[in-house]
């Protein structure tokens, strides 16, 4: 069914419906009570966001371990905020959440960051590549230059790795040196991967790594596609989308929170061929929170 504002409010007309959805998605009737270890029927406790075990009376709180825990904002508003995120092409600003939800800017700002963290957690960090797979790797600078500075000074650096016709993975890194980038590649790319990069010297060691097949393009020589089809065009395209989201919607983001915005863009990009799954995933999958 097409996801519209009308269909959203028909599905989640009030807080009670949202809480029931969380309970059924995460636990359901028959869930083993963590206290008495018995399969139980759970009864709704009207005075709080909780259910009670039929055997020992132990309370189960469906919002614990979710972005909504310890929040006094209504669950329906939280769910609608997530709906706005998955329906937006270029992100949702705190001011937009403030206007749409009728909450304070402080509340909207916190909600936005919790949702971005949730999107990154649901997306996960599974390895990329493998035998017969191609992964493009590149980095980009995000942020403003310091007056008089050269290169990327005072900019944040995002490293991106994208499997051709597959998923993307990002890491905010401190520099573009081999000792920083190479371990990330080894940790996240499977053996047998064919790796494409630009001419950055930090990647030279890949040519001697027997776990991978390595090719590079020389952008300084205005080469954008190599003789064997090697390129970094896909990962550069992803970076354009990330920067468009930041500049067009948020104007500026701090280095402290950049990874959250990259994680949001990552989540949406990785579901570009199945956008209808984004909302159900975010409202039913709740990875363990740190």
Task: Give the pLDDT confidence of 28-69 residue by residue, as tens digits.
Answer: 999 999 999 999 999 999 999 999 999 999 999 999 999 999
Phi-psi sector, 272: left (phi>0), alpha (psi -120 to 50), beta: alpha
Task: Give the pLDDT confidence of 187-226 residue by residue, as tens digits.
Answer: 999 999 999 999 999 999 999 999 999 999 998 888 888 8
| Buried-state track 83-106, b at ≥16 Cβ within 10 A, e below 16 | bbbbeeebbbbbebbbeebebeee
Residue 150: pLDDT above 60?
Answer: no
What pLDDT is attached to residue 146? 54
Domain covering 128-251, topology: Nucleotidyltransferase; domain 5 (3.30.420)
What pLDDT is attached to residue 147? 52
Domains of the chain: which residue ranges?
Answer: 128-251
Mean pLDDT, the chain, as a whole number? 94
* Encoded tokens for 39: 């399969």
Residue 164: pLDDT above 70?
Answer: yes
CA distance 269 to 55: 46
Q: Minimum mean pLDDT among 38-42, 227-231, 239-243: which range?
A: 227-231
Residue 277: pLDDT above 70?
Answer: yes
Token match 């759970």: residue? Answer: 42
Sign of the CA dihedral 82, 109, 264, 234?
A: positive
What pLDDT is attached to residue 153? 67
pLDDT band for 71, please (50, 70, 90 cuts).
very high
Q: Is-above-0.85 flag for pTM? A: yes
Sign of the CA dihedral 15, 18, 22, 24?
A: positive
pLDDT band for 98, please (50, 70, 90 cuts).
very high
Residue 27: pLDDT above 90?
Answer: yes
């Amino acid at each position: 069914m097409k996801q519209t504002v009308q269909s959203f409010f028909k599905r989640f007309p009030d807080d009670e419906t949202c809480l029931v959805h969380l309970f059924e998605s995460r636990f359901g009737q028959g869930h083993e009570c963590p206290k008495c270890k018995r399969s139980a029927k759970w009864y709704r406790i009207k005075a709080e966001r909780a259910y009670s075990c039929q055997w020992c009376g132990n309370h189960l709180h469906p919002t614990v371990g979710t972005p909504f825990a310890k929040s006094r904002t209504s669950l329906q508003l939280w769910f609608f905020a997530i709906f706005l995120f998955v329906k937006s092409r270029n992100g949702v600003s705190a001011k937009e959440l403030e206007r749409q939800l009728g909450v304070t800017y402080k509340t909207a700002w916190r909600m936005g960051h919790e949702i971005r963290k949730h999107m990154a957690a649901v997306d996960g960090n599974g390895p990329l590549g493998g035998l017969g797979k191609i992964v493009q790797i590149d980095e980009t600078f995000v942020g403003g230059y310091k007056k008089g500075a050269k290169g990327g000074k005072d900019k944040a650096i995002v490293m991106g790795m994208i499997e051709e016709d597959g998923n993307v993975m990002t890491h905010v890194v401190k520099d573009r040196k081999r000792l920083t980038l190479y371990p990330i590649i080894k940790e996240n790319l499977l053996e047998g991967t064919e790796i494409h990069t630009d001419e950055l010297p930090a990647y030279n060691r890949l040519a001697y790594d027997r776990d991978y097949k390595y090719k590079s393009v020389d952008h300084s020589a205005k080469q954008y596609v190599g003789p064997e089809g090697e390129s970094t065009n896909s990962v550069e395209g992803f970076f354009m989308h990330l920067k468009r989201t930041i500049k067009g919607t948020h104007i500026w983001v701090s280095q402290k929170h950049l990874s959250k915005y990259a994680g949001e863009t990552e989540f949406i990009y990785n579901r570009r061929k199945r956008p209808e799954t984004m909302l159900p995933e975010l409202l039913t999958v709740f990875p363990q929170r740190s």
